[in-house]
Structures are given as C-alpha cells and as structure tokens.
A and B are shown apart, each in its own frame.
Chain A
Amino acid sequence: AQKITQTQPGMFVQEKEAVTLDCTYDTSDQSYGLFWYKQPSSGEMIFLIYQGSYDEQNATEGRYSLNFQKARKSANLVISASQLGDSAMYFCAMREGLRYGGATNKLIFGTGTLLAVQP
C-alpha cells in the first residue's frame, strides 16, 4: 500500500539556519510524484515544491530544495536560511501513479512536521 512517513512530529531551528524535514515513502508504482506543502496556522495549504519520480535532478524552488534519494525512497525537504515566517506545519505528499490504464491525482499525505523557527 502507498504510504508516506514523516518521523519528526516537531522541529526547532534557529533563524537563518538550514533545516531538513524528513519524508520517506512506500510505493510499488514506477511513476509517482512527491510534493511538499506548508500549512500555517491559518490552515491554508501552500504548495512548496514537486519532484517527479523520473526527474534526475533534485527539485529546487528558492530557499526550498528536495533531497530525492530514489533507492532509499526518501524525499527530504531542505529549507535554507530559515525565517520566522517559515514556522508552520509541513506535509509531505505522494501522488499515485498510473495504474490499470488510468491516471489519478490522488494525494496521500504524511502526518506532518511542525517547524518552529526561533529568533
């Protein structure tokens, strides 16, 4: 069964430091997508970064980068130069791939990591 695991319920990081949020996944699909979303206290889910299973390069978006290690089935999010506004819940998600001739866009979410950036 498809599964996303985030083992860090909470993390602290000093402002301006880098932080890595862990995410491992389990799937038998050959084609899949991995996403990271940020959820501040307001509740909105904000898309951060995407990595496709066939992408050879690690995805980067500004201060966010995804450390994709396919053999280890991990997709860790790295936030560089943390800012106070980065304090939020972070969710790793996986999109199911093609199966039985049909494509889906169902997202399976991990349990999240609460990041607190300290001044």
Chain B
Amino acid sequence: GAVVSQHPSRVICKSGTSVKIECRSLDFQATTMFWYRQFPKQSLMLMATSNEGSKATYEQGVEKDKFLINHASLTLSTLTVTSAHPEDSSFYICSAPRGGLLDTQYFGPGTRLTVL
C-alpha cells in the first residue's frame, strides 16, 4: 500500500491566490522530504529539500519566497505556492526516504495544480 500521501490530488485556482499542498508519510517518520515538479511529458525536477526543524534547502533557480515549505512534524511537509500564476501550473510530487536519509525514496501520488 501507499506509504506517502498527498492532498489535494488536484486543485484549480485563480491567478493570484495561494495554494497549499500537504505531503504525509503514513507509517514512518521522515526528517527529510523532497518536493519535485514535473511539467507535461517531462522529467521530475527537484525543487527543494524539506527538513524537519530547520529551513528548507532550495535548488538553484527555485524562488523560496514563491514556494514556501514548512516541515511541521516528522510526518508532514507542506508546500505553499504563493500568488500562483498560470506558469506555476504543473504536477507537484513529494517523496520521503522511509528508512533514513539515504534510504529509497517513496513518492506520493502527486498534486496537479492548474492556475487559471
């Protein structure tokens, strides 16, 4: 069964609004989670590493003020897309290593964001 969940699975919002996406590890604790973005017919690109109890680490070119990450607990990380615009429309997917930092990453089912 699934070990990482995401909510919502799909969201449509108006330009200028903010959208929060939740990522939960279901039967394990994850001090680190990862957020990826995938454009249609393209590969996954790592956006940021979410760290419980400390600031997220963002990849080059990712605006940290645009994509706010909060690792609220050992089982929950949230990604907030602030003031969303149509170019932010994408598939956002999170992952977490199950057995420790270097363990295999298990992915959530993803969130499809459409900004009108």
Contact = CB atoms under 8 A, between A and B. Distances in A.
Interface of A: 33, 35, 37, 42-47, 50, 91, 95, 103, 105-112
Contact of A107 (B101, B105, B110): B105
Contacts of A35: 104-105
Given A105-B32, A105-B97, A109-B44, A43 B105 contact: no
B78 interface: no
A33 B103 CA distance: 10
Q: In terms of DSSP, what is the predominant structure of the interface of chain B?
A: strand
User: 10 smallest A-B Cβ distances: which pairs?
Assistant: A45-B107, A43-B110, A44-B109, A109-B43, A109-B44, A111-B43, A105-B102, A105-B101, A105-B97, A47-B104
Contacts of A95: 102
A11 to B, nearest CB: 16
Nearest to B9: A43
B106 interface: yes
Contacts of B97: 105
> Looking at B44, B106, B110, which has the most chain A CB atoms within 10 Å of its CB?
B44
A90 B110 CA distance: 16
B49 interface: yes
Contacts of B105: 35, 47, 105, 107
B112 interface: yes
Interface string B1-44: 00000000000000000000000000000001010000000111
A41 B52 CA distance: 31
